[in-house]
Amino acid sequence: MESNKYENHILIIFAHPALQKSRVNKVLLGAVRDIESVTVHDIYEFYPDFHINVAKEQKLLKDSDIIIFQYPLFWYNVPALLKEWQDLVLTHKWAYGKGGIALRGKKLFCAITTGARESLYSKDGFNRFTIQEFLHPVSQLARVCGMHFLPPFVVHGTHSLTEPEIISHSEDYRKLVIALRDNKFDLEAARKFKRLNEHMDKVIIR
């Protein structure tokens, strides 16, 4: 891990059980892999048998300022290994509870892809709830652990995206991650939007 040449160290906890079949996450991940002061941690690659090394994961978290959970939405939730990771890694008296201050003050957000279009995520839409509502469990775990939960980066309608559209989303993701690393990110402005990639020009400080 680099010394503190940059303002922030970013940890991407990446969870996709079939990366070889991925169209979107593969490209998003490819756009951020080489950024300095960013660690991409593919948990399905590390733990195909679900045997998570808790001490290693906690060390990675401790060494980071900003944590991103990147995953395809599966049944309105995180993929199974990311749920297992949350259950095992975010332990009592370490992440929360008496003396559990390891994550306090860090930032957390989700970078999600969804098969369904954005319009289907609304009160009157097919999925009945917004993406923000489906993220309440992650938002609440962030709060209990003393972390600042940011709006998500969301790519909707993955099945109908063209290659240029996927590349454009990946460029936005890269710009966002670099801005966060360099503290060129307006947190207050971001909180007003439902997605970090809704108005990139308003959240990234030039």
Ligand X SMILES: Cc1cc2nc3c(=O)[nH]c(=O)nc-3n(C[C@H](O)[C@H](O)[C@H](O)COP(=O)(O)O)c2cc1C
Nearest to ligand X of 28, 61 (CB atom): 28
**For residue 27, which of 157, 196, 155, 206 has the smallest C-alpha distance?**
155
DSSP 36-73: TTEEEEEHHHH-TT----HHHHHHHHHT-SEEEEEEE-
What is the CA 136 to chain-centroid distance, rounded?
Answer: 14
Residues within window 85-114 making contact with ligand X, judged by CB under 6 A:
113-114
Among 6, 7, 22, 171, binds ligand X (CB under 6 A): 22
Nearest to ligand X of 46, 76 (CB atom): 76
Measure the CA–CA gap between 197 and 152, rounded to whole angstroms. Answer: 8
Nearest to ligand X of 3, 160 (CB atom): 160
Tell me the angle at which helices 54-62 and 80-89 cross, rounded to the nearest 10 degrees: 80
Binding of ligand X by 6 (CB under 6 A): no
| Contact range with ligand X by CB under 6 A, out of 6-14, 18-26, 30-38, 145-153 | 18-26
Nearest to ligand X of 60, 73 (CB atom): 73
**Nearest residue to ligand X, by Cβ distance, number only:** 115
What are the residues binding ligand X (CB under 6 A)?
A: 16, 22-25, 72-76, 113-116, 158
